[in-house]
Structure 1
């Protein structure tokens, strides 16, 4: 279990920030990989437009559905005592290489401006094919404001398997890299497969979904889902990581024990949040398709921010909104609900941005309202994307290169996660894991 003490280890945190500042990677050479043909960038998404009517926010309501305790207990009894995050980290069997040891192609996916100060490429065993791709990230900086889970600094990265290539049994599955980030120069990780209990906890199935966003808050991991049903988020308990006993391609109970497509660990869902209106809409308005999520500690209580998934390069105006997280100690890590288990958005906006792949909300000290950061791809072309900072007054993005293109953000970038203790924003490209100081993002905007 997580041991609290939110105000300790501040000196340790200051020392870490000093180390990071002194060891920043010289990665700005990636700018040479952007050509003049990329000068157009994406259009200015303009100012955020508040949604205040019940008609505008009603479609954002969620219904909480927790897995019965009896089902979870039945699964635990069958599989054995769960292990903690620390045990997963101790068994790490993959390593991340620092940016200088990565290929030029891998480094070329990093942001041009602002430049990444920390960057890592994944173990070659995990990038030999394009079957699996990372899309989301969260950290122990989200889990607790001291930046630690127990004694560990941890990064979680969500990957999804292609639904069209590779072995049929694992198509569309979702897995999470549990990254030991205690030593910034030597990161290691272990895979955990996301699963969903079925048959009253007598079995489980793999989560078949593109994991476009994750937030680790207290002991819960909230994960976006596009599983084709009305689910918007799945909820996982980091205290319920289970070991498998059979090394095979199946996922679930098999003769002789429990299998998970060859993975040694699974994380069973403990609940879900669904849109009562049903499946998300493909046209503007109606039930949204959730895209990226992140944590905002600048609200009271802390909140989960969400961006709507819309096609890149389209003229659909996406929605941004937030849900309050529960302040009830008995509901740690869950969203705040009413007596009927309903969750309403406490703030919502519309933006002209499309294809949003990363969303972040941050309120600087003394500011009346939060500023929103949106990362999205360059329309219908390949290459670097853009990162916009938006508020009710307008939008700004970094410019880079002699042609002043706004396409300075990472190529194929995923979700955003702000590590409050260190001031870093973490994200992933389709090739790398990286961080950029939030202060650098703000200073690069023009």
Structure 2
């Protein structure tokens, strides 16, 4: 369970920042600015357009469906007592490498401007056949930035190869970020209880968005799961007992597709209107009262129409920690297309946009009711200096850092550096 209290912040090494900015990222910048300068940037999307008509907001009303408590209790009774985040962190599968020890190809996934101040790469053997997705942190979970005594990063991944049963599986790495020089991680498979809790199946969708708020983890899914927003309880992690590629009950125990832990869903949300937009990326906004979850619309790669953005408030009712209110409190439309990540803080919306293939540079915009500004690559006129593969933005308010990941790189940079990089 969560042990609250304030803790002293750890100082990040200036030497590490200098190494990232000067060496590890220098190769990326030099190689990218040449190709980026040849690209044509997106037109100015202008200001956000509020959508207030009932016909525009009503389809975004959420329908909530709980997994019956009896089913969760039955699953726990069969698998054994659930464990918490601390037990997962104490049983790591491996460690991340500092950016200085990553290959040039891996570091090319990092943004050019603003530059990362902390960056790590995942071991290739442990992530082969998996694609990186969303990121959230204990900075989302609690305003002191910790869960219990730990600083934690949750990194979502989706299976892209393997058998038909394996493809589309989703897992989350629980990263112990207490030691910034050597973060350790443990894999946890995301699952959905079936057969009244007598078994579970894997979550069959890419993890495009995650928000960890209090003891709940909210995860967006694609069309394979009907565009649902699944809810997980981080205090309900179960131990798998059988190694193997299968998922669920197997002869001799329980399997989690190679992971040693599994997290069963406790609820789900779906937008209720016919043809309603489905959430793609999501993030937490602690600058609102109450705290809120923001989302961008998931759109097909070839669609060129406007993109909708919206927010839901988190419930303040007793017994509903980490749950959402049903109706959106604000809905907007942006002229930006191919939006892949969203972050809202105070009056600004930060939107990551793909401008070509994942191998090409993307753009990062700050948009509000007055207009829009892109980050620029120093004195160069191009806007294409963000990572093309990054599909998540998560603001750790206690430290002022934004976390994301791209390719095999997990990285952070100050939100203040994003604001400084905006073209004016």
* TM-score for the superposition, normalised by structure 2: 0.95
Does the aligned pair in 2 maintain the 1:41–1:385 contact within 8 Å?
no
Aligned-pair CA distance for 1:314? 3.7
Q: Which residue of 1 aligns with 2:79?
A: 79
The partner residue of 1:433 within 410, 414, 419 is 410
Deviations 1:29-82 (A, max 9, x none): 121121544331333322100011111111111101011111110110010001
Does the aligned pair in 1 maintain the 2:354–2:363 contact within 8 Å?
yes
Does the aligned pair in 2 maintain the 1:311–1:354 contact within 8 Å?
no
The partner residue of 2:397 within 420, 423, 426 is 420
Q: Which residue of 2 aligns with 1:340?
A: none
1:101 aligns with 2:101: yes
Q: Which residue of 1 aligns with 2:12?
A: 19
User: Mean Cα displacement is larger for which, 29-38 or 286-295?
Assistant: 29-38
Whole-angstrom CA distance in 2 between matches of 1:174 and 1:28: 30
Whole-angstrom CA distance in 1 between matches of 2:94 and 2:101: 15
Does the aligned pair in 2 maintain the 1:312–1:380 contact within 8 Å?
no
Deviations 1:332-357 (A, max 9, x none): 11112xxxxxx110001000112211
1:372 aligns with 2:349: yes
Does the aligned pair in 1 maintain the 2:227–2:278 contact within 8 Å?
no
Q: Which residue of 2 aligns with 1:391?
A: 368
Whole-angstrom CA distance in 2 between matches of 1:81 and 1:189: 22
Q: Which residue of 2 aligns with 1:303?
A: 292
Q: Which residue of 1 aligns with 2:340?
A: 357
Q: Which residue of 1 aligns with 2:234?
A: 238
Whole-angstrom CA distance in 2 between matches of 1:106 and 1:59: 41
The 3-state SS of whatever aligns with 2:143 is coil
The 3-state SS of whatever aligns with 1:170 is coil
Whole-angstrom CA distance in 1 between matches of 2:41 and 2:108: 17
Does the aligned pair in 1 maintain the 2:358–2:389 contact within 8 Å?
no
Whole-angstrom CA distance in 2 between matches of 1:114 and 1:346: 31
What are the within-5 Å matches in structure 2 for residues 252-401 of structure 1? 252-277=248-273, 286-312=275-301, 314-336=303-325, 343-363=326-346, 370-379=347-356, 382-400=359-377
Does the aligned pair in 2 maintain the 1:140–1:153 contact within 8 Å?
yes
Whole-angstrom CA distance in 1 between matches of 2:121 and 2:398: 24
1:124 aligns with 2:117: no
Deviations 1:242-273 (A, max 9, x none): 00111122111112111111211000000000
Structure 1 residues 261 and 323, CA gap change in structure 2 (3 angstroms): same
The partner residue of 1:160 within 158, 173, 180 is 158
Aligned-pair CA distance for 1:402? 6.0
Does the aligned pair in 1 maintain the 2:240–2:256 contact within 8 Å?
yes
Aligned-pair CA distance for 1:20? 4.8
Does the aligned pair in 2 maintain the 1:230–1:276 contact within 8 Å?
no
Aligned-pair CA distance for 1:228? 3.2
The 3-state SS of whatever aligns with 2:110 is coil
Runs of 5+ unmatched residues, structure 1? 279-285, 337-342, 364-369
Runs of 5+ unmatched residues, structure 2? none
Does the aligned pair in 2 maintain the 1:98–1:120 contact within 8 Å?
yes
Q: Which residue of 1 aligns with 2:222?
A: 226
User: Mean Cα displacement is larger for which, 209-218 or 326-335?
Assistant: 326-335
Structure 1 residues 22 and 299, CA gap change in structure 2 (3 angstroms): farther
User: Mean Cα displacement is larger for which, 427-436 or 22-31?
Assistant: 22-31
Spell out structure 1 runs of 4+ moving beyond 4 A: none
